[in-house]
Amino acid sequence: AQRVTQPEKLLSVFKGAPVELKCNYSYSGSPELFWYVQYSRQRLQLLLRHISRESIKGFTADLNKGETSFHLKKPFAQEEDSAMYYCALKETSGSRLTFGEGTQLTVNP
């Protein structure tokens, strides 16, 4: 069965500092990985998916199959990045999204 682990429940950085939100996964097949963001009391929004390899709001994430990781990075954090971030894995043969437990990012002024 697939599993997604986000080891940090809380992460606090100062504005302008680099930020990395960790995500590790276990899945026997070839996974599709996503990062979703949830701003305070709002819907989950797709931030990134690994197959598109794009940068959204300055965030990037690279799939490392050797380390089974999909860490989210931003070189200079902004206050408006404060939110809950979820890493998610989608099985290639179906529609189920398995979420990590989420990391609450706080960017301090």
Partner 1 sequence: DTAVSQTPKYLVTQMGNDKSIKCEQNLGHDTMYWYKQDSKKFLKIMFSYNNKELIINETVPNRFSPKSPDKAHLNLHINSLELGDSAVYFCASSQGTIGNTIYFGEGSWLTVV
Task: Give the separation between CA 31 and CA 26, rounded to whole angstroms.
Answer: 9
User: Quick one: which of 49, 72, 83, 105 contacts partner 1 (CB under 8 A)?
Assistant: 49
The values of phi and psi at residue 79, to 5°, are -60, -35
Residue 15 or 22 with smaller CB distance to partner 1: 22
Contact residue for partner 1 among 20, 24, 97, 106 (CB under 8 A): 97
Separation of alpha carbons 62 and 69, rounded Å: 8
Residue 56, interface with partner 1 (CB under 8 A)?
no
d(CA 52, CA 54): 5
Dig out the tokens for 93 from the structure. Answer: 């043969």
Query: Measured from the CB of residue 62, what is the shortest distance to partner 1 in angstroms?
Result: 19
Binding site for partner 1 (CB under 8 A): 32, 34, 36, 41-46, 49, 84, 86, 90, 92-99, 101-102, 104
